[in-house]
Amino acid sequence: MKMLLDGQWVDRDKKIDVTDPFDNSLIDTVPAASSDDVETALSAAVKGFEITKRMTVYERAQILFKTAAIISDNLEEFATVIAQEGSKTITEARKEASRCVNTITASAEEAKRILGETIPFDSFPGGEKRRGYYYRFPIGVILAITPFNDPLNLVAHKLGPAIAAGNSVILKPATVTPLSAIKLVEAMVQAGLPPQAIQVITGYGHEIGDALVSDERVRMISFTGGVEAGKHIAKIAGIKKIGMELGSNSPVIVWKDADIDPAVESCVSGAFWAAGQNCIGVQRLLVHREIYDEFKKKFVAATKKYKIGDKLKDDTNMGPMITEAEAIRVEKWVEEAKHKGAKVLTGGKRQGALYEPTVLENVPKDITIHCEEVFGPTVNLYSIDDLDEAIEEANSLPYGLLTAIFTSNVDVAFKASYELDCGGVMINDSTDYRLDSMPFGGVKYSGLGREGLKFSLQEMTEPKVVCFYLPQI
């Protein structure tokens, strides 16, 4: 596939292979962008903004509604590309493609609700005879940098609201999964988006990233990815807006009065969705001692039923990790845990990029798989005795995206939801529940700002005050 620069789909002699992590087969190639391409993207995005800022709300919304219709009409094709280039099974990929339709549709709807307010200037002395209001204006060129794990919908979460608000965009998709992102942009152009409004630049972040991130023509960076890249970007960005959706190691509390079977089902799915490569994937399960043995037995039994392998088969539950190197990393973390006394209840074996769904207990609290984001198909079980202890444990690490609690006691749920330090608390769902239009984001190292269409639109626009001094009134 090609890059979209300055209104043209372009190729380059130097290419990057896009391969299927299941069997390493070549799916396609994308151009490896040069520093000249970076300059073209930046200068074309500035020109593109001159077009997008003059488009009416109706035009922007119609383009997004049409984009959603194109994706919906070609859902299986989008799902197949997601499943081929990434880790997801075809079942998981179909769900992502459907969510992308919702994300783009909600962006179109929210385009019509970018509102301002009148301002009561006369509410303090000195404001007499003044009337005014503020409205929200698009901020300009937005640099969208996206990760591999939801290669379509997380791109939609940036392009949808950016276009809805009237910004121009430079998109740099993850190098291992650029094809779903390019297909989304093709759909937008087919739906009527002026091609100058969006630049798609393919290339390695560590090669082309700094020139894009530090350029003053970029007015906002909307980044989703890991903490290390996030810290680097924040350091060199200069004075511009930054939105960051980063990682986590999500804790889930299972209280003694929880309905165990649905809790097990939800947590197993939440731990192993997308082979655990999920920013809200369940990593630390804090289970009340009174139900620990029953929960563990059922959780391990459900995990053992997982069928792993060929992503394109309907009955496969979990695919490979994104690369063999990533599976080797997880293997090392599990080996470290074993040496330090953790017990592997099931899983723990690797074949190429496939890593078995793995359940650990007795995990010491000073080792990597406890402290860091595993971003792989492993989950740690801990038993807890009281709620304060569980909340303290959940809050003990420098992440805070979503947390969850299973309980039938409203007082317990209420206390947990106020005291858990994070961007959202799910009650009787695992952390792996997200509605695309809810405010989504984290605290501490999990991020800055919020996504979720209406909330992204706030981040991607600025208020401008207009004040009339009317001495005659």
Q: Which stretch binds ligand NAP (CB under 6 A): 105-113, 161-169, 229-237, 261-269?
A: 229-237
Per CB under 6 A, 183 contacts ligand NAP:
no
Q: Is 467 a catalytic residue?
A: no
Per CB under 6 A, 391 contacts ligand NAP:
no
Interface residue with ligand NAP, options 79, 229, 359, 422 (CB under 6 A)? 229
Question: Using CA atoms, how far apart are residues 5 and 17, in angstroms rounded to an integer?
Answer: 20
Number of residues that bind ligand NAP (CB under 6 A): 28
Question: Using CA atoms, how far apart are residues 374 and 368, in angstroms rounded to an integer?
Answer: 8
Least CB distance to ligand NAP at residue 439 (A): 12
Lay out the site mask for ligand NAP across 266-305 (x = CB under 6 A, - = otherwise): -------------x--------------------------
Least CB distance to ligand NAP at residue 4 (A): 16
List the interface residues with ligand NAP, window 442-461 (CB under 6 A). 447
Q: Which stretch binds ligand NAP (CB under 6 A): 242-250, 265-273, 310-318, 333-341?
A: 242-250
Least CB distance to ligand NAP at residue 293 (A): 31
Interface residue with ligand NAP, options 144, 154, 308, 381 (CB under 6 A)? 154
Least CB distance to ligand NAP at residue 156 (A): 13
Per CB under 6 A, 175 contacts ligand NAP:
yes
Least CB distance to ligand NAP at residue 83 (A): 17
Per the CB < 8 A criterion, the answer to whether 196 and 47 are in contact is yes
Interface residue with ligand NAP, options 92, 245, 429, 436 (CB under 6 A)? 245
Interface residue with ligand NAP, options 149, 222, 249, 456 (CB under 6 A)? 149
Least CB distance to ligand NAP at residue 191 (A): 24
Interface residue with ligand NAP, options 44, 218, 246, 360 (CB under 6 A)? 246
Per the CB < 8 A criterion, the answer to whether 420 and 403 are in contact is yes
Least CB distance to ligand NAP at residue 197 (A): 20
Per the CB < 8 A criterion, the answer to whether 211 and 195 are in contact is no
Q: Which stretch binds ligand NAP (CB under 6 A): 38-46, 103-111, 198-206, 379-387?
A: 198-206
**Which residue's Cβ has the minimum distance to ligand NAP?**
209
Question: Using CA atoms, how far apart are residues 148 and 160, in angstroms rounded to an integer?
Answer: 18
Strand pairing partners for 223? 145, 244
Per CB under 6 A, 143 contacts ligand NAP:
no
Conformation bin of residue 430: beta by default, left when phi > 0, alpha when psi is -120 to 50: beta
Least CB distance to ligand NAP at residue 276 (A): 11
Per CB under 6 A, 205 contacts ligand NAP:
yes
Exactly one of 245, 326, 356, 361 is catalytic; name it: 245
Interface residue with ligand NAP, options 148, 255, 295, 399 (CB under 6 A)? 148
Per CB under 6 A, 145 contacts ligand NAP:
yes
Interface residue with ligand NAP, options 88, 158, 172, 370 (CB under 6 A)? 172
Strand pairing partners for 468? 131
For residue 342, count CB atoms less than 10 angstroms from its CB and return exposed for 0-12, middle for 13-18, buried for 19 or more. Answer: buried
Q: In what side-by-side order are the strands of the sheet with 130-138?
A: 117-119, 130-138, 461-469
Conformation bin of residue 226: beta by default, left when phi > 0, alpha when psi is -120 to 50: beta
Question: Using CA atoms, how far apart are residues 207 and 150, in angstroms rounded to an integer?
Answer: 23
Per CB under 6 A, 200 contacts ligand NAP:
no
Least CB distance to ligand NAP at residue 277 (A): 7
Cβ within 8 Å of residue 90, ≥6 positions away? 79, 80, 83, 311, 312, 313, 314, 316
Per CB under 6 A, 233 contacts ligand NAP:
yes
Per CB under 6 A, 213 contacts ligand NAP:
yes
Q: Is 50 a catalytic residue?
A: no
Per CB under 6 A, 373 contacts ligand NAP:
yes
Interface residue with ligand NAP, options 232, 329, 340, 415 (CB under 6 A)? 232
The distance in angstroms from the start CA to the end CA of the chain is 62
Instruction: Kindly list the catalytic residues.
Output: 245, 279
Residues engaged in binding ligand NAP (CB under 6 A): 145-149, 154, 172, 174-175, 204-206, 209, 213, 224-226, 229, 232-233, 245-247, 279, 373, 375, 401, 447
